Chains A and B, each alone.
Chain A
Amino acid sequence: MNDDRDLFTGIPFLKPLPDLPVFLLCLTSLAGAAFFAMQVPATEPAVVLPSAALAIATGLLGLELRFRKRAGGPGKEGTPEETLDIHSVPAHISETCLALVERLEEAEEGEAREEIKKALDEIQIGALDPVIERRAAIIHQFGMVAFARFMSAFSRGERLLHRAWSALTDGHEPEASRSLRAAAAAFAEVPPLHEPNRQRG
């Protein structure tokens, strides 16, 4: 079963409460559990039981918050004004990499190094970092397994871009060219992200 969201069903009687009070309740139970456990020694049932009960309450409230976050979608990170079309990023980077290979191979030795390194820096800041920063949002929206498959290929491509940068710095253009081609292939292989089945929720 790929949809790990189905593990969480929420606590019905907390449904009327907005998120903040639930979060504060969670922190209070966490502090309470830790407070009881602070006693030296904390072996008496009158100490252990409240501490354990509050710890379990913390866990349940944590699950409730987790459920709410998932049910509510990706949250602030994915709001329309900040929307990044994550689905199109890998293909776009792949195309850019192939264009950079072409530029590198057309140019005279050393001529295009700085230009391509600058382009790689732009890819990092403009395309790779925004996707990486939405890590939590991607997990919430598409599930852990889909994220892992996506990020595995994506990170391989990212590492190969770093390799191309290092090779260019060392003046080894054939390795930079190979790495850029391999990065293009890696980004082309990034599997699409599919919304998991929400029907059972």
Chain B
Amino acid sequence: MNGEHPPYREFTAASLLVSLVIGVAMCAAFTYSGLMLGFTLAGSTIGAILGFAFLRPFGRGRGSILEVNQVQTGASAVNVASAGAVFTIPALFLMGYAGEFSILAAVLAATSGTLLGLAVISPLRKQMIEMERLRFPSGLAVASILKTPGESLDKALLLGAGLLISAVFKICVDWHGLAEGNAVLLPERIDLGPLLGLGPYTSVVFSLSLMNVAAGMLAGRGGLPFAFGAVLAWWILAPGAHFAGWTAGHEGAAETRFLYSEMLRPLGIGVLVGGALMGVLLTWPAIKAAFDSLKRAGVSGGGRDEAPASFIVTGAFLSLALLFLAGWLGADLPLGPALLTAVVGGLWLALAGIIVAQATGMTDISPISGMALIACTLMLLILGDEAVVPTIFIGAAVCVGASQCADMMQDLKTGHLVGARPWKQQLTQLLLTWIGPAVAVGTIYILWTAGEGGRGGFGPGTKLPAPQADALKAVVEGLVKGDVPWDKYALGTLLGGMVSLLPFAGIGVLVGLAMYLPAEITLSYGIGCLISIALGRIRGRAFLARRLVPFAAGLILGEALTALTLSLYQIAGRG
């Protein structure tokens, strides 16, 4: 081994610059697509692919796996604000508060969320990734992209085959919605209920999403409690409620909606909260040990591994100060309520961040809207029904912050799998993440003022219907009228805490998430778990690692990238 080598590239000026460019572009584009289509996309996959494309051609060691890992981390750190902002801030415009709040304050609220998310989740890396070994299926898929240059041909082929199959499948499923007159090639879901002679109160529906099945494949046995939660919710509790006569007056699809929105979903939110709280209590010794190792600021191979404690404490105080300023100066709250709002909002954000990161780590699904709903409920309870602006600000902070927690932990999982230093990834996040809220909120403001007379640029009836924000508007209006299922939240929290005492990792969060989601998602995921278990028994553990993992990663990537392409196609068509 004689050759001269420049230092191995990881955290570089080029990685920061490329992250910034890709991240800003994705954040603005996904905010726009979120207003149009009602969903946003994660940025890590695209960041990884573009990172190679931007850096690798320049040679001389540029575009190393770890440098591209930094690009993907930084780009998604900027982009992550788009999901939280597009769900919340436009609701203020749609509710007629356009002239009654400062855009800067909205940016401050979202920025405080992203910084607090970073501060909260950084010290939990060891716990979630090293101790609990959460799978983060999308994180694993991104690691597969990063490792492609060095993988053996058979693994690369499996990844490619998974990607291709999933892409073709996704196109077939979405074909009907792409243009008027297109035939239905594949339905979005298969409902076996009518075939089995079951009523609408028993959901035997499977979503035709290979990404969903692949997430279950990667989770294997550990994901079974999630499927069990769906069975409990939709095959036991829902029919029970029907036969007890609790759904009287609701027929057909209306009964399914009633069971879901009035019974299972609010109960599921409570179970999620209780499960997460008890999970923290039960794993406290391991969390404490992880914190102790942070204090020692572990170093390996000549550099720092973990974020220093001062970084976390400073970040937390700074973000709480921003949240306070957003309420005090931006929403005209008196000093006391502004302080209370910042403290309660910050505490809820921390818990919501842990819940969302855990749920994403176990299943690849984020219960972000449920967390925003609780945030809004808490704020209206504290501040009164008139305080809609600060309520939405806190909702935005929680959405952005909790998304940040899940995104960061997913990127740290990817980093672990390619050998990145966690501290370098955290530093990249810190340097770039505050830019995202300004881009996302700025894009929303520009699009709003692009309407006739400088207002009304999005909302129902326009080409940007903002469906998520419109849904939040309806929810907040319901909360203002006192339509809050406290009973479900409270009993669900107790139940979630108690279920977590069972000796199965993460069971409280998984059962809660299963009740919170429609059956079709959970049951498809369960199919993936069963496939993984069966293959493990027939072909052995090595087969899962060598064959199933790259194939499942390909399925996830194929659907994600095709969804992005089809979104762009739809936007171009409507533009």
Does more than half of chain A's interface fall in helix, strand or loop, or is it mixed? helix
In whole angstroms, what is the CA distance A139 to B214 when docked? 28
User: Is there a chain A Cβ closer than 8 Å to B230's Cβ?
Assistant: no
In whole angstroms, what is the CA distance A136 to B293 when docked? 21
With contact pairs A39-B246, A42-B487, A59-B498 given, residues A152 and B290 touching in the complex (Cβ less than 8 Å): yes
Least Cβ–Cβ distance between B132 and chain A, in angstroms: 8
The interface size of chain B toward A, counting residues with CB under 8 Å, comes to 65
Give the residues in chain A near B285, CB-CB below 8 Å: 4, 143-145, 148
Give the residues in chain A near B293, CB-CB below 8 Å: 152
Determine whether the beta carbon of A152 is less than 8 Å from that of B130.
yes
Least Cβ–Cβ distance between B194 and chain A, in angstroms: 24
Least Cβ–Cβ distance between B570 and chain A, in angstroms: 37
Determine whether the beta carbon of A56 is less than 8 Å from that of B498.
yes
Give the residues in chain B near A162, CB-CB below 8 Å: 416-419
Give the residues in chain A near B241, CB-CB below 8 Å: 35, 38-39
Q: Which B262-305 residues sit within 8 Å CB-CB of chain A?
A: 262-264, 267, 283, 285-286, 289-290, 293, 298, 300-302, 305
Determine whether the beta carbon of A35 is less than 8 Å from that of B131.
no
User: Is there a chain A Cβ closer than 8 Å to B501's Cβ?
Assistant: yes
Q: Which B416-457 residues sit within 8 Å CB-CB of chain A?
A: 416-420
Determine whether the beta carbon of A117 is less than 8 Å from that of B66.
no
User: Is there a chain A Cβ closer than 8 Å to B187's Cβ?
Assistant: no
Least Cβ–Cβ distance between A197 and chain B, in angstroms: 16
Least CB separation from A103: chain B residue: B1
Determine whether the beta carbon of B498 is less than 8 Å from that of A62.
yes
User: Is there a chain B Cβ closer than 8 Å to A167's Cβ?
Assistant: yes
Give the residues in chain B near A60, CB-CB below 8 Å: 501
In whole angstroms, what is the CA distance A101 to B99 when docked? 66
In whole angstroms, what is the CA distance A174 to B133 when docked? 30
**Chain A contact patch, size range:** 35 or more
Q: Which of B150, B283, B300, B488 contacts A37 (CB 8 A)?
A: B488
Most chain B CB inside 10 Å of its own CB: which residue of A39, A104, A124, A163: A163
Determine whether the beta carbon of A173 is less than 8 Å from that of B3.
yes
Determine whether the beta carbon of A170 is less than 8 Å from that of B61.
yes
Q: Could you give, for residues 54-68 of chain A, a 1 whenever the CB lies within 8 Å of some chain B CB and a 0 otherwise?
A: 011011101101100
The segment out of B116-124, B333-341, B539-547, B550-558 that lies at the interface is B539-547
User: Is there a chain B Cβ closer than 8 Å to A179's Cβ?
Assistant: yes
Least CB separation from B501: chain A residue: A62
Determine whether the beta carbon of A145 is less than 8 Å from that of B1.
no
Determine whether the beta carbon of A132 is less than 8 Å from that of B133.
yes
User: Is there a chain A Cβ closer than 8 Å to B8's Cβ?
Assistant: yes
User: Is there a chain A Cβ closer than 8 Å to B49's Cβ?
Assistant: no
User: Is there a chain B Cβ closer than 8 Å to A133's Cβ?
Assistant: yes
Q: Could you give, for residues 218-242 of chain B, a 1 whenever the CB lies within 8 Å of some chain A CB and a 0 otherwise?
A: 0000000000000011001100110
Q: Which B2-27 residues sit within 8 Å CB-CB of chain A?
A: 2-3, 5, 8
Give the residues in chain B near A136, CB-CB below 8 Å: 505
Give the residues in chain B near A147, CB-CB below 8 Å: 131, 286
In whole angstroms, what is the CA distance A4 to B283 when docked? 10
In whole angstroms, what is the CA distance A42 to B237 when docked? 15
In whole angstroms, what is the CA distance A140 to B17 when docked? 47
Give the residues in chain B near A26, CB-CB below 8 Å: 502
In whole angstroms, what is the CA distance A186 to B232 when docked? 44
In whole angstroms, what is the CA distance A107 to B485 when docked? 68
With contact pairs A35-B240, A108-B1, A178-B301 given, residues A42 and B491 touching in the complex (Cβ less than 8 Å): yes
Least CB separation from B7: chain A residue: A175
Give the residues in chain A near B64, CB-CB below 8 Å: 166-167, 170, 172
Least CB separation from B507: chain A residue: A62
Give the residues in chain B near A130, CB-CB below 8 Å: 541
Least CB separation from A118: chain B residue: B152
With contact pairs A160-B301, A172-B8 given, residues A41 and B487 touching in the complex (Cβ less than 8 Å): yes
Least Cβ–Cβ distance between A117 and chain B, in angstroms: 7
Determine whether the beta carbon of B133 is less than 8 Å from that of A135.
yes
Least CB separation from A7: chain B residue: B282
Least CB separation from A44: chain B residue: B487
In whole angstroms, what is the CA distance A159 to B149 when docked? 19
User: Is there a chain A Cβ closer than 8 Å to B467's Cβ?
Assistant: no
Q: Which of B5, B417, B420 contacts A173 (CB 8 A)?
A: B5
Least CB separation from B129: chain A residue: A155
With contact pairs A144-B286, A152-B126 given, residues A38 and B263 touching in the complex (Cβ less than 8 Å): yes
User: Is there a chain B Cβ closer than 8 Å to A6's Cβ?
Assistant: no
User: Is there a chain B Cβ closer than 8 Å to A125's Cβ?
Assistant: yes
Determine whether the beta carbon of A166 is less than 8 Å from that of B150.
yes
User: Is there a chain A Cβ closer than 8 Å to B495's Cβ?
Assistant: yes
Besides A144-B286, A148-B290, A173-B1, 6 more A-B contacts (Cβ < 8 Å) are A34-B237, A34-B267, A37-B267, A156-B305, A166-B65, A169-B150
Q: Which 10 residue pairs are nearest across A and B when measured between Cβ atoms? A: A163-B419, A169-B150, A59-B498, A62-B501, A148-B289, A182-B301, A162-B419, A175-B8, A155-B130, A62-B502
- 10 A-B contact pairs sorted by A residue (CB < 8 Å): A34-B495, A35-B236, A35-B241, A39-B246, A109-B3, A125-B545, A152-B289, A160-B300, A166-B66, A179-B419
